[in-house]
Amino acid sequence: MAKPTKHAPKICWATTIVMAIGALAALLTEQPMWGVVGLLPATIYQVYRTEGESTTWASWAMLGVLVLLGALLLLGVDVDLSTLLGRSSETVAGYEVPLGPITMVGPVVMAVLSMILIARTRGRFTKWLAVVILVGSGALIYVLDPAALGHWFSEALRLGLRRLG
């Protein structure tokens, strides 16, 4: 059953503003936890709004990754997954995700999942939230490693152009 949309625009605008404030605070203070906090409302509302099996799965996975990332940042844990797993990348939903510090992999996985939601969701509000999460994840990637954002942007552009052509 479709979720009510009466208050959806207001809630989406509010989550967008909270994400922007969190991203800006993270960028200015170089503290990624602000970005995590800023993404929380949009991610929670995305979980509520999605209905299909794969989109619901992606939304819940994003929320789990975000909560885990917040916990790891609070505890100061940053394990290198490529060393731990013995490989340099992993395929997530058809996208190649390079492995590295676990705190960097979290926002990258969220960005990939939000791209999946942008492609698979039909509702305008779920697409809106997915874009908000993608932008917030990009801000987190930049705060954690500015050079990595350029790599991910070029990779996403390459994949997008390949799908169009």
pLDDT of residue 72: 92
Q: Is the dihedral of CA 153, 154, 159, 162 positive or negative?
A: positive
pLDDT of amino acid 153: 66
The reported pLDDT for the residue numbered 93 is 64
pLDDT at residue number 165? 55
Task: List the chain domain ranges.
Answer: 44-159
> In the prediction, which pLDDT does 121 show?
86
pLDDT of amino acid 83: 84
Give residues with Cβ within 8 angstroms of 102, minimum separation 6: 72, 77, 78, 79, 80, 81
Kindly compute the dihedral angle of the four CA atoms of residues 19, 59, 114, 33, in this order, to the nearest 10 degrees.
40
Mean pLDDT by 10 residues, the chain (165 residues): 80 97 95 96 94 90 95 89 80 70 85 88 91 94 83 65 61
Residue 35: predicted pLDDT = 95
pLDDT of residue 116: 87
